[in-house]
Amino acid sequence: MKIFTKTTCISLRIATMMMACLLAWSYYYLQYDLNRLPGGELISSSTSPDENYTVKAYKSSGGATTNWTIKGVVQDNKDSKKRVIYWDEAKSAHIVWKDKNIVTINNKKIDVIKGSYDYRHD
């Protein structure tokens, strides 16, 4: 008497692979997606030298047991798209543009087109 048929084994393999993919996606979503970060109070804003981008810094607190954090959001001034590029433990944000695409926030150099900084993965 067969305990597992061929189709049962294939079904179990597919289910296991789907579960592994779901777990990998969940880990990424919870640990690496900067767009899930909390909002906060706007404390600073700076526009790039060519006025194509604006970086805004927000300060937020998770409560009495966590440090203050700064979230940096870059906005493309042409199409108003926003993206989180910076997340760090700090109370203030010092934003300096190095050129039209490179900005430093609290001495962390970031390319606003494709770069980001997250202190949790430093």
pLDDT tens digits, residue range 4-30?
788 888 888 999 999 998 888 777 666
15: left (phi over 0), alpha (psi -120 to 50) or beta: alpha
Examine the pLDDT at 104 and tell me if it is beyond 80: yes
Phi-psi region of 64 (alpha: psi -120 to 50; beta: other; left: phi over 0): alpha
Lowest-confidence pick of 2-6, 43-47, 112-116 = 2-6
Amino acid at 24: A
Entry pTM: 0.71
C-beta separation of 57 from 95 below 8 A: yes
Name the residue among 68, 78, 74, 75 with its Cα closest to residue 40.
68
